[in-house]
Amino acid sequence: MDRLLRKRLETRFDGKLLGPVRQRHDETEIHVGTADLVEIMNALHDEADLKFEILADLAGVDTGDQMQVTYHLWSEMTPDWLRVIADGLPRDNPRIPSLTGLWPGAEWMERETYDMFGIIFEGNRDLRRIYMPPDYASFPLRKDFYLADDAARSPGGGVRHMEQTHVPAQASPNAVRRTVKTR
Amino acid sequence: MTQDGREASLPDAVAANVSPAADDTALVPAGERAVGSPIVVPNTLWTSGREGAYPTGSSSYLHLASLEGSDLMLKDDARWGALEVIPTKADIVVDLIRMNSLWPLLSGLACCAIEMMSAATSKNDMDRWGMFPFRASPRQADVLIVAGTLTTKMAGPLVRLWEQMPEPKWCVAMGDCTCSGGRYKRSYSTIEGIDRVMPVDVYIPGCPPRPEGLIYGMMKLGQLVKERRGHWDEHVIAPNVPTDV
Amino acid sequence: MTTVSRSWGNMTTTGKVVVPLLLLVLVLGPIATVAIGSWIGPWIVGLASANLPIVRFLVAVTGVLLFSIPTAFIIIYMELKVIAFMNLRVGPDRVGPAGAAHSVVAGLKVLSKEDFSPNAADRTVFTWAPVLVFLTSVMTFLILPFGPDLVGMKLNIGVLYLFSIGGMTVVGLLLAGWSSFNKYSLLGGLRAAAQVVSYEIPLTLSVVGLILLAGTMNVYTLGLQQSGWFTNWYVFRQPLGALIFFIASIAEANRTPFDLTEADSEIVAGFATEYSGMRFGFLFFAEYVNVFLVSALITTFFFGAWNAPVDINAILGFFNIAPITISFELGTLGIALLIAIAVLPLILTLALAAPFYFGKTQRPAWQALVIGFILFNLVGIGILGLIAYVNVPWIAGITWFFLKAFAFVFVFVWMRGTFPRVRIDQLMGFAWKWLLPAALLNLFVTAAAIIVVKSL
Amino acid sequence: MTASNHHQPHLSSDDPRIMLDGEIGQFESVPPYPPRTEREAEFYSLRDGEMFLNMGPQHPSTHGVLRVVLKINGERVVDLDPVLGYLHRGVEKLCENSDYHHIISQVDPLEYVSSLFTEWAPVMAFEKLLDVTVPRRAEYIRVLTGELLRVSSHALYQGWMALDLGGLAPILYSFIERDEIVEMLAAITGQRMLFNYFRIGGVNGDLNHEFMSRLGDWMSRALKEHETNIGLLNENEIFVRRMRGIGRVDRDMALKMAVTGPNIRAAGVPFDVRRAHPYSVYPELDFNIPVRGSNGGGDSLDRYLLRLDEVRESLKIIDQCLHNMPDGPIMARLPRLLRPRPGRAWAAVEAPRGLYGTYAISDGTDQPFRMKIHDPSFVNMQLVGQLMKNNLIADTMAVMASLDPVMGGIDK
């Protein structure tokens, strides 16, 4: 783990970070708020002693009570991966500024995150579902979405369509029972 | 696919096969016995609660010929186009012809597509049985090798692809995902086996099956083509498929 | 009786119509034969002798139609096996010896597939476009000289007829692409139109120089002019023309690397995307008939149509040997002929079997006899073939013609197996920027040379 | 069937959004619902002389079930809109519902051409969560098998490249090489494609005699056969003319589009995880990072040639692995049921198509709380939208093939 990077980040973004800079193995982790996200990312990307030019990953996380968006960055200045966690998105209406201005390549990753979590990236020019069909009802990777084998706990759109609402001709009895249960 | 309309005209044998069970009282205990008395196993074959589940005699066993005889099946003995003028006995020749040139459709869904291509390449050469020219257009293909996981989003296109192929056509389900859902059976966006949305002639298990497996399945399909002697019953689609597919 | 009724029940409606007709034909056949032999036959003969060219034309058309499909089968099988060999594969080897019947099986299978036409397609055009494509490629066979006097029509404007008919192919492709109501088909048809039209021009111009040299447009005369030694072939007087003709004819036949019209990886199957069953079969065969056609044309124009590369009579004349002609009247043998026919096979078989029986390899008698008989047959066939080759000129001609033509077919297949596909703009640029100027240059040089030679 | 109709129109076969090779003309390519984004609105509005051409989900050269809606003007592509998700198998959700050992078999088919790398990244992430140190022999075996698979993947890439340009022969020659490699891997893993081989803390089985003999036999002629396969295409004038100058990517574009792998190295950026962020035993090995297009970016031909250079480097790595393969155990001592401490871990490996990463969050149970899989093909495919403007339809195939997408990875 890179102590210098930790010192640099703490001095540079003093007061903007939610919580301390965590380090484990070869990863450095900072928590930021959605308000400061774009500014911090611009600084990380542009400034000569940081130069995090490569966006390795963009992931959404549903912690159960709130939403997070995680960015993994790489820079030639440090041997560490930098993990930036945009924290504190409400689950009912998660909104976060988009990074497509900085990395246009983040567009599809943000689309994927929207598709899986319903997180709305403001400023993304093409924020539609990318994996699931356009008329899909729910967001699969949320924590209140259960797999088809315990479909009874799942909200309306969640279950696989073919099992959910269809009473087949010549149905075997347990199939009928399952259908009735999910109704 | 008018299953309901055909259900009305079921012969008893078929009805016995598909009628839902009243309740699963599988093993009927052989009468009451006093406590401590020796257990006497009655010398009678036990019968399942579902009649017709274990076919005894010819009552519930349905032969393909009798199936053709009944009006359950679509009367459609694959003679199309110019060869229609050939009388029935020539079907043997026609089926030998079809068996020896099965052109697959050049369509792969997922992992198994790589092994499908490998089956067509130099090491194990599908061309030897006349299966090689992978047609790019469904209009000119005979066999649809569904190679890979079928997702709900892809189901519609695949069904349409199947409908675009001209008769006579056959479907080979390659890989566990297409046979039963495989390792993605639990997923929210996959279909547990393509026989829920389309008829299947040959299942090839394996994740993925080796190219030899695919070739073996295709040869089995050729055997099927040869033995059916040109009489094609309409494939019965699995029970719980939406009727609008 | 039961078997009859059962088979009657198994028949399709069409079969129930056809089988009585067959019986009826069996009954009426002899009567009709007698009638034809007695009254209708002579009348037909008189009519035919009255206007011979029409009869000749009809016979030629029938022969060509019967001849083109087997050629397509042979070329398809050749392509399957040659490309398989180039890919270190085995290729089809189940039906027939070494899989020779696989192409026939595929053709019959296509015949027995459902004949489908989309709802939105223009039915009439959709139905007749493949027939047009096939017919245009077949009609060109009429003027091909397969050998001396073995030609459908000795047209004096043969070359003109050739290119006018060849240009009609694009109409069929365009109609097929347009009427399918499919965007891929449309793209394929338009590509075909652009490609064929722009390659017609260098193709035609490359032959104009040849026509200037030959002074005729009769394809049969072109063949006659190239008789004798192979130095008389026009390829040595028109090398550039031959090259341009070869390249342009690849594009005419829509073959790799110019097969943009049915580019699998771009537009699914081109104009044939929506075609199934026998209509697709027509398009499929037409492609291969075209391949044979362009090979035959190259042979006819530039590689001495049916003439052997060496002039046997010249060699014999050089050694003061009279040209071999067996004008032997078998009738003069009389009774000896019968004896010869009866005894000669026996004697020759025994003679050929003897070395295997008495020789070092002590074979049993029956094996030796079998081997001897086979050898006798081979020898006899060889002798008869040689006599036929020497005495019947068109047998020699057709042999050499097919040898050369299939050599070029092999080149086409070879390119199919190896080359990637060019882009549409590269295709057009090549036609207009390189082939056309080269063809004009060829024409100019030829004309100038002719003028100079005449002025001397 | 009444209440659920809004759930399954995408399943019905007469859905105007579904357009396949046949019957294309019968459908409006414009989706029946109002546009949801301005990008969609401006794409699905036609100017004069333009038309839509739908490729896929079943098309010979979309490498699986990718669907691309082209807006063409004659033969020229004005704009295009890739539609993904036809192979979305919900792997991440399945991983969150299956325990750590099971996950290895769940992620296997993601990038099915080089599936060892799809196991490598999650395994490394879990080892970080568990603070496990992998035995050196296991690391060497991982590197050895991984580089073997890289060679086979690049061989397939070469074949597909030629196939999309209309050349028939090279794909068969590259499949011969690929078949040899997967067969020798099957000798130790037991599977041809989806080897469920890497384990948390090591590998499943040790090198056996059959593998070593096959490998030695192959290594003796690998380079020569590689040169042969190269010779099939690289001297071909048509091939070179079709590849040169199309799909040019320069340094800034590559960095902004978050491209990784050979595609970014062909644009002049020497970013290779094996050197940029060394993992496993790569620091001990001697190999180069081939870079092309340093001046003014690289085109499709550069992307193609760079992979051929990488094959030589991989052969060097395989040779070194065979020479200094240490003895010792191949698995770390671990309990059957893994319950890592709560925490987050991110691990990335250099797959044949680029940075393949895994982001795992543990909540102390035997199943990961969240598992994100970053696939390189998914990001690289975004380039298609930018590179295809004002190219020909044929170039669409060439550029798409030169980016080397694998739909299993793109759709997860």
Chain C residues with beta carbon closer than 8 angstroms to that of B132 = 80, 92
Chain B residues with beta carbon closer than 8 angstroms to that of A132 = 153, 189
Mean pLDDT of D118-129: 92
Indicate the pLDDT class of residue D339, thresholds 50, 70 and 90.
Answer: confident
In a domain, D276, yes or no: yes
Integer CA distances (angstroms), C115 to B77, B165, C45, C110, C121, in order = 15, 11, 41, 9, 14
Query: Residue A81 and residue D348: Cβ atoms within 8 Å?
Result: yes
CA distance linking residue D407 with residue D405, whole number of Å: 6
Residue B121: the pLDDT is: 87
Query: Residue C111 and residue B139: Cβ atoms within 8 Å?
Result: no
What's the CATH number of domain B82-227, 3.50.50.60, 2.130.10.10, 3.40.190.10, 3.40.50.12280? 3.40.50.12280
Residue A60: the pLDDT is: 92
Whether C202 has a pLDDT exceeding 60, the answer reads yes
Rounded to the nearest angstrom, the minimum Cα separation between D106 and chain A is: 15
Mean pLDDT of C259-272: 80
* Residue B148 contacts D where some CB pair is shorter than 8 Å: yes
* Residue B245 contacts C where some CB pair is shorter than 8 Å: no
Residue at which a domain ends, from D53, D83, D113: D83
Give the 3-state secondary structure of C340-400: HHHHHHHHHHHHHHHHHHHCCCCCCHHHHHHHHHHHHHHHHHHHHHHHHHHHCHHHHHHHH
Length reported for chain A:
183
* Residues D114, D184 within the same domain: yes
Touch of C by A (3+ CB pairs closer than 8 Å): no
In a domain, D331, yes or no: yes
- Residue-wise pLDDT for B204-229, tens only, equals 998 889 998 998 888 888 888 877 64
Chain D residues with beta carbon closer than 8 angstroms to that of A127 = 36-37
What are the structure tokens assigned to B230, written together? 């040109």
Q: Which amino acid is at D98?
A: S
Best to test chain B binding among D5, D14, D87, D404 (most B CBs inside 10 Å): D87
Query: Residue B121 and residue D13: Cβ atoms within 8 Å?
Result: no
Share of chain C above pLDDT 70, in %: 94
CA closest to B75 among chain C residues: C12
Rounded to the nearest angstrom, the minimum Cα separation between B18 and chain A is: 7
Length reported for chain D:
412
Burial C72-84 (b: 16+ CB within 10 A, else e): bbbbbbbbbbbbb
Mean pLDDT of chain B: 67
Query: Residue A147 and residue B242: Cβ atoms within 8 Å?
Result: no
> Total structural domains in chain D?
2
Query: Residue D167 and residue C418: Cβ atoms within 8 Å?
Result: yes
Higher pLDDT, B26 or C412: C412
Whether A151 has a pLDDT exceeding 70, the answer reads no
Whether D96 has a pLDDT exceeding 80, the answer reads yes
CB D393 within 8 A of CB C260: no
* Residues D74, D98 within the same domain: no
Query: Residue A108 and residue D378: Cβ atoms within 8 Å?
Result: yes
- Residue-wise pLDDT for D25-66, tens only, equals 334 456 666 777 888 888 887 787 888 888 878 887 777 788
In a domain, D19, yes or no: yes
Mean pLDDT of D107-133: 91
Whether C244 has a pLDDT exceeding 70, the answer reads yes
First to last CA, chain D: 30
CA closest to D254 among chain A residues: A105
Of A25, A108, A166, the CB nearest to D382: A108
In a domain, D108, yes or no: yes
Rounded to the nearest angstrom, the minimum Cα separation between B228 and chain C is: 15
Chain B residues with beta carbon closer than 8 angstroms to that of D111 = none
Residue D315: the pLDDT is: 92
Whether D19 has a pLDDT exceeding 80, the answer reads no
* Residue D73 contacts C where some CB pair is shorter than 8 Å: no
Higher pLDDT, D189 or D296: D189
Mean pLDDT of chain A: 78
Residue D125: the pLDDT is: 93
Residue B35: the pLDDT is: 52
Query: Residue B186 and residue A147: Cβ atoms within 8 Å?
Result: yes
CA distance linking residue D282 with residue D279, whole number of Å: 6
Sequence-distant (≥ 6) Cβ neighbours of residue C315 within 8 angstroms: none
- Residue-wise pLDDT for C359-371, tens only, equals 777 777 888 888 8
Interchain CB contacts (distance < 8 Å): A and D = 137
In a domain, D20, yes or no: yes
Residue C322: the pLDDT is: 65
* Residues D40, D151 within the same domain: no
Rounded to the nearest angstrom, the minimum Cα separation between C117 and chain B is: 10
Lowest-confidence range among B72-86, C96-110, C174-188? B72-86
Domains contained in chain A, CATH given: 3-137 (3.30.460.80), 146-183 (no CATH)
* Residue B25 contacts A where some CB pair is shorter than 8 Å: no
* pTM for the whole structure: 0.79
* Residues D13, D148 within the same domain: no
State residue B143 phi and psi, 5-degree precision: -120, 135
H/E stretch holding A168 reads none
The structural domains of chain B, with segments of one domain joined by +, span 1-73, 82-227
Integer CA distances (angstroms), A55 to A10, A41, D58, in order = 21, 10, 32
Whether D21 has a pLDDT exceeding 50, the answer reads no
CA distance linking residue D285 with residue A120, whole number of Å: 44
* Residues D209, D336 within the same domain: yes
Place of tokens 């049969």: C220
Tell me the CB-side half-sphere exposure of residue D4, using CA atoms within 13 A: 23
* Residues D183, D77 within the same domain: no
* Residues D56, D167 within the same domain: no
Residue B61: the pLDDT is: 40
Whether C209 has a pLDDT exceeding 70, the answer reads yes
Mean pLDDT of chain D: 85
Place of tokens 């049921």: D337
* Residues D317, D391 within the same domain: yes
- Residue-wise pLDDT for B123-165, tens only, equals 888 888 888 778 888 888 889 999 888 888 888 888 888 888 8
Residue D168: the pLDDT is: 84
Rg of chain B over CA atoms, in angstroms?
22
Chain B residues with beta carbon closer than 8 angstroms to that of D91 = 184, 187
Of C86, C186, C420, the CB nearest to D238: C420
- DSSP reduced 3-state for A65: coil
CA distance linking residue D232 with residue D171, whole number of Å: 10
Touch of D by C (3+ CB pairs closer than 8 Å): yes
Residue A154: the pLDDT is: 41
Of B106, B122, B149, the CB nearest to D89: B149
For residue D68, the enclosing domain spans 9-83
Residue C357: the pLDDT is: 78
Query: Residue D397 and residue C266: Cβ atoms within 8 Å?
Result: yes
In a domain, D3, yes or no: no
Query: Residue D372 and residue A57: Cβ atoms within 8 Å?
Result: yes
Best to test chain A binding among B2, B4, B10, B188 (most A CBs inside 10 Å): B188
Burial C335-349 (b: 16+ CB within 10 A, else e): eeeeeeeeeeeeebb
- Residue-wise pLDDT for A84-142, tens only, equals 999 888 888 889 999 999 999 899 999 999 989 889 998 888 888 888 887 777 888 88
Indicate the pLDDT class of residue B3, thresholds 50, 70 and 90.
Answer: very low
CB A75 within 8 A of CB A50: yes
Whether B17 has a pLDDT exceeding 60, the answer reads no
- Residue-wise pLDDT for C100-144, tens only, equals 888 888 888 888 888 877 777 788 888 888 888 888 888 888 888
Whether B231 has a pLDDT exceeding 70, the answer reads no
CA distance linking residue B110 with residue D407, whole number of Å: 7
Whether A153 has a pLDDT exceeding 50, the answer reads no
- Residue-wise pLDDT for D143-158, tens only, equals 999 999 999 999 999 9
Torsion over CA: B240, D65, D15, A114 (sign): positive
What are the structure tokens assigned to B158, written together? 């695949």
Residue at which a domain ends, from D54, D83, D112: D83
Burial D136-152 (b: 16+ CB within 10 A, else e): bbbbbbbbbbbbbbbbb
Residue B200: the pLDDT is: 86
CA closest to A165 among chain B residues: B242
Torsion over CA: B193, D68, D113, D330 (sign): negative
State residue D73 phi and psi, 5-degree precision: -125, 95
Q: Which chains touch D (3 or more CB pairs under 8 A)?
A: A, B, C
State residue D203 phi and psi, 5-degree precision: -130, 170
Residue A59: the pLDDT is: 92
Mean pLDDT of D3-24: 38
- DSSP reduced 3-state for C430: helix
